[in-house]
Chain A
Amino acid sequence: MTVPGSAVGGLNLLHRLDARVKIVGLVGFAVVVVTTPPQAAWAFVLYALTLVFLAALARLSPLAVGKRLLVIVPFVVVVAIFLPFFHPEGRVLVEWGPLRVTDRGALIFWNTAAKAVLSTWGMIILGLTTSFPELVNGLSDLRMPRVFVLTLSFMHRYSRLFLEESQSMRRAMASRNYNPRWLGQVPALGKMLGALFLRSYSRGERVYVAMVSRGYEGTFALNGRRRLRATDLAFAVFILGAAAVIRIVVAAGGF
């Protein structure tokens, strides 16, 4: 796992877009994908092509995207494992002793796997082309409640600090030959986390004092609202338009 907002270098078109259109566009895309019935296999191919286009536009390395896609593997595997055990109704595709894979079972597997890959892929593009502060600003501009926006920006600021602290503590533990191999050795890690919590709590108190010292009274504004440019709108029209057209053709029973 990496720290959020680890948008990698490069300043091409997709990186420069306003975070708002990327959030709305890719979240909207994911929603459309999830609502598409799995029988329309061609639609999923078109969705995938749209994402390939975007990823190429952003010059994302396929390896980086692929690595991040691994997070869905456990769930896909679980569905695959249970495939022979359920949905015994329907046309049998493969039979192996008491185990049967039916077309219904296979369809469920296809449905989950394809949708998981496509929506996750879209969110990966969002994550890889948007830095965390941009993401927070985007959410703020989209009128996400202030508590969350501010908490997110705090979290981003301090998670790095805490990660560094926890890493240096881990190094200190490793220098004294702590190398946990199984659950029984875990409590030492817990002690370390306890120390981290104490540090982070007093950090929170000190930050609060620093804020109050500068006139904080419960809420504050982060940034002014920015205006969307033509390229931002073009992106939104492209991604939402592509998803909508594909979905509408599916609904109309096309192909």
Chain B
Amino acid sequence: MHIPDGFVDIPTAAVTGALSLGAVAWAVRKSSKESGDRTIPLLGVTAAFIFAAQMLNFPIAAGTSGHFLGGVLAAALLGPWIGSLAITIVVAVQALAMADGGITALGANVLNMAIIGVWAGYGLLVLLKKALPRNLISYLVALAVGSWFSIALAAAACAAELAVSGTIPLRNALPAMVSVHMVIGLGEALITVAVASAVLAARPDLVRSYDLPRESLARTGAPRTQRRVRFWSFVVSLFVVALALAVFISPFASSAPDGLESVAIKHGAEQMAAETPVWRFSPLPDYQLPGIESETLSTALAGLIGTAALFAVVVLAGRALGRRRTGQQAG
């Protein structure tokens, strides 16, 4: 989900950069107020922990692997301010020292992963905690949903930025990005819950967002998440879910672009349009021509084919990269 340079245009980069800068500055203030002179060592080891955790690839299926993001986990454990700052630091290091994620896209990447991802997931966790009965299982369910949602939403934000920049239209980018990350999000949710329950079992006081009576821990213990599911049926069902989501989301998404795309036009297209008319894409290329029904159908179809292709690419790339990484780890 690390957008490279060139995929977001200058206005988008500037706006996302400014938003991120503001949010991060605020987070610095709040976390220093909260943790005092412990902020720096705490933040440092948290960032190091997230960084180390992101190095661990987890297998999804068929040789594909995803890697852990950790935003909601950090927020659940240490509060959203520290969590969001730790992810910011990690994303910045990846861009500066490892060329993973563009330097002009840094604002967008921080916004997606460290701000939107962390806060949306954490917000959902807090809301669900209020809505669900107060017990350990509900807490873990809320955590799972929160971390899964944070990945999906960060992917959606990423798709929106690509669309506003005119790189990929929203009707293609959104379903594809979101559906793929809905699958990756499952891994995120599983790991987040497993880490949180391990920490809860040993040091419940270190899980800041857990405010239920401690006794319930001893009774319930860590949940059994490891279930025996037939491997290939799992792969196939993942694929079916991804496709179903793509088909379901695409028509829904096609109504959204207008607003976003018109923003893009307002932003920088005017002077750009004068000298480089072809670079910017026009907001309404061929939408009006067919009737609503067939439009829905065609966008859904496009989403479906796109998702299938993307899924294939992810599987192949994951296989190749996964092998390379395992090789490095062994060495």
Contacts and interface: CB of A to CB of B under 8 A. Distances in A.
Interface stretch (B48-56, B125-133, B209-217): B48-56
Nearest to A117: B6
A47 to B, nearest CB: 12
Interface of B: 2-7, 10, 13, 28, 32, 36-49, 51-53, 55-56, 58-62, 68, 77, 85, 89-90, 92-104, 166-169, 172-173, 176, 186-187, 190-199, 202-203, 206, 225-229, 231, 234-235, 272, 275-276, 278-279, 281-282, 285-286, 302, 305-306, 309-310, 313-314, 317, 321, 325, 328-329
Contacts of B325: 1
A238 interface: no
B99 A124 contact: yes
Given A82-B173, A194-B197, A159 B168 contact: no
A151 B40 contact: yes
B172 A85 contact: yes
A37 B187 CA distance: 40
Given A135-B96, A198-B203, A154 B55 contact: no
Interface of A: 1-2, 4-5, 23, 27, 30-31, 33-35, 37-39, 68-75, 77-79, 81-82, 85-90, 103-104, 107-108, 111-116, 118-121, 123-124, 126-127, 130, 132, 135, 145, 147-148, 150-159, 161-163, 165-167, 170, 180-191, 193-198, 200-201, 203-204, 207-208, 211-212, 216-219
Contacts of A75: 3-4, 7
B102 A116 contact: yes
B47 A218 contact: no
B178 to A, nearest CB: 13
B197 A113 contact: no
Given A152-B89, A158-B45, A158-B48, A194 B97 contact: no
A86 B168 contact: yes
Q: Which of B7, B97, B191 has the most CB of A within 10 A?
A: B97
B97 A162 contact: no
A163 B42 contact: no
A196 B53 CA distance: 9
Given A123-B103, A204-B42, A82 B168 contact: yes
A119 B96 CA distance: 11
B104 A34 contact: yes
Nearest to A124: B99
A103 B92 CA distance: 35
A87 B285 contact: yes
Contacts of A124: 99
Nearest to A70: B321
Contacts of B92: 148
A163 B285 contact: no
Contact of A186 (B44, B96, B167, B190): B190
B176 A108 contact: no
11 contacts: A37-B276, A82-B169, A85-B302, A103-B278, A123-B96, A151-B47, A152-B47, A170-B56, A182-B234, A190-B195, A200-B46
B291 to A, nearest CB: 17
A88 B285 contact: yes
B16 to A, nearest CB: 13
B129 to A, nearest CB: 20
Contacts of B89: 148, 151-152, 155
